[in-house]
Amino acid sequence: MIGALRRDLLAAGFHVDGVEELLGPVASAALHREQVLPARRVVEAAGGAALAVLTSVFMLGGSVSRRVFDGALPGVGVAGAERLGLVRAGGPGDDDVVRALVDLRPYGASDASGEVRWWLASDLGETVTGVRLAGDHVLGAGGASLTLAQVTARRAVSRVLDLGTGCGIQALHAARHADVVVATDISRRALAFTAFNTALNLGGDRDRAGRVEVRHGSMLEPVAGEEFDLVVSNPPFVITPHSGDAGAAVREALGDYEYRDGGRAGDDLVRDLVTGVGQVLAPGGVAQLLGNWEHRRGETWQDRVGGWLDEAYERYGLDGWVVQREVLDPAEYAETWIRDGGTTPDREPEAWAAAYGAWLDDFAGRDVESIGFGIITLRRPAAARPRRLRRLEEHAGAVRQPLGAHIGAVLDAHTWLATHEDDEVAVTRLVSAADVTEERYLTPGAADPNVVVVRQGDGFGRGVQASSPLAALVGACDGELTAGQIIGALAAIFGVEAEELAAELLPAVRGLVLDGFLAPDVNDPRSDLGQSS
């Protein structure tokens, strides 16, 4: 039956491009803002065309007659869609009406392996139902899900763990480059959606479909004693009050949401995952997570989260890299997540006020001044190394997605740098990345620039203020000469001692290699870049 559904959806043109073309730019943009009225008007004007019917029923909360629905999905029909749990036929006062029980929509994205085009089933959202979400609500692919999919390094691996799989989107991405994917969740409803989405999207490829295994349980419990080459997780990281009067007030006002509330105080769930995931990482294995963390009065976020990285290193020898992408104050944070569940101040003013006040009280009780969100990358090195990767940084600006290939390259570069001292870097031929450019800032009329910035167009789009010798070195790195030979030539040009210039430039060169501005020439036997080991 799922095979027939897949064929019907394709025949109707119910895919990302088809829906975008049907709705047009205005209605599409409104729908991305969770405003459905413009899209409803478009599909009403389109009449009974199969694409318009499917868009109306599964994405916009519309209803149609049995005859119209059968025409839109002729291979499945109403009876088959009911058996699959997708629709309900009949209702109070009208036995002929067909309504969706789930949200089923096209999904398109680009990750480090290329583009994907799937369909994702999840629970109906609040914009369609008009009421707050149920506690066991299963989300579709939101912004956080897409972020994680795009920042994940996509390399051929044996085993992947998708911890907190939800509707299964990360498991689907991982099935393209893994032999086995284990998808876990505390929600049986979420696992049912994962199984359905896997069958719908991968069922045409029995080899891929058989790679995904679903398991019920909390955090790492379902995979205790096992090892994975890659762990991905968009965990229930939302910092929700859970104890005392504040916790009781939020539970009474909103209930608990399995997809976002981990049942732990503050940011303890993310901390426990960061410090504990090493127990299931195989040598060379990488964990890529999203998370929230508290900024507390008198403590920098780098000290707080850095302490988690230090514990992960002490327990399992893990490298750690954290990029903070966003910061919200306590009021913004509370408003965001109360609204996320479908509670609004106009629709439920008492519940909103109670939850809002409790959230602020909870943060005040821990001296929380703001809350950070970001990307966490951890790695268990395949072998002992003289240097660990410990990096905590902020990057709120735009990035060039997908970031997965860049993140993988940074891990490889660190492996290489950790085993190559400055004198070994000096005898290596380096190549400037194709996306690197140079910016010069001059005072009007001046012959020489005041500031030179070397900038990358890919990855995080970093800009490094460079001295004239460093900028010249980057420009000369074409694989013909070693770094040391270039430095020697520059020393003669600038009239300085080669040793002094090397002492100045080689630490900067190491930083440029780490961030992807420069890379060892693959034809140089000294390049031997590791594969995130």
What local confidence, expressed as pLDDT, does residue 532 receive? 47
Other beta carbons within 10 angstroms of residue 20's beta carbon come to 15
Closest CA to 281 of 313, 238, 253: 313
pLDDT at 203: 81
With CA atoms as reference, report the closest residue to 167 among 198, 185, 135, 190.
190
- Inter-residue contact 274 to 376 (CB < 8 Å): yes
d(CA 194, CA 196) in angstroms, rounded, equals 5
* 3-state SS assignment for residue 456: strand
Tokens for 434, please give them.
């194709």
Q: What is the CATH number of domain 416-520?
A: 1.10.10
What is the C-alpha separation between 518 and 433, in angstroms, rounded?
Answer: 6
pTM of the predicted model, to two decimals? 0.92
* 247-270 confidence digits (pLDDT tens): 888 888 888 888 888 778 889 999
Q: What is the pLDDT of residue 248?
A: 85
Q: What is the pLDDT of residue 243?
A: 79
* Regions in the chain scoring below 50 on pLDDT: 530-532
Q: So where are the chain's domains? A: 2-101, 130-413, 416-520
Residue recorded with tokens 């005040």: 364
Q: How far is CA 433 from CA 62, 265, 300, 422, 475, in A?
A: 51, 44, 34, 20, 10
Length of the chain: 533
**Do 475 and 440 form a contact (C-beta atoms < 8 A)?**
no
Quick one: CATH architecture of 130-413?
A: 3-Layer(aba) Sandwich (3.40)
Distance of CA 169 to the CA centre of its chain: 11
Alpha carbon distance 371, 359 (integer Å): 13
- % residues pLDDT > 70 (the chain): 97
Count how many Cα atoms sit within 13 Å of the Cα of residue 220 in the half-sphere of its side chain: 20
**335 alpha carbon, distance to own chain's centre:** 22
Residue 485 to residue 518: CA distance in whole angstroms = 16
Q: Which two tokens stand for residue 496?
A: 């300085």
The dihedral region occupied by 72, where left means phi > 0, alpha psi between -120 and 50, and beta the remainder, is alpha
